[in-house]
Amino acid sequence: MMDQIPWGAIGALTPNGLLMVTIWLILAGKLVPKATLDRETTRGDQWRDTAAKKQEIIQVQAETIRDQAVISETVAKVMSAVQEANKAGDGS
């Protein structure tokens, strides 16, 4: 990063040179106000919390789907057994 600073144009580290370095850092996006940093950090935390909640919801839904699949298989087996029993009863 330091090699990107145009030292020849800035001159020695005079007050004007330091001002030019500061302005260059601000324009390059390397130097941001603390309020901006805090706001962006808060946004990142909110996104992380939202992603964690979504993962929990997805986990609960996956467990529910597995449970429903087991129940539907059980119901299908019971219904098949009832139909077989009816067929066997009708044939006698």
> Per-residue pLDDT tens for 56-86?
999 999 999 999 999 999 999 999 999 988 8
Instruction: Provide the percentage of residues in the chain whose pLDDT is more than 90.
Output: 52
The answer to whether residues 30 and 1 touch, using CB atoms and an 8 Å cutoff, is yes
Structure tokens at 18: 């330091």
Stated pTM of the model: 0.50
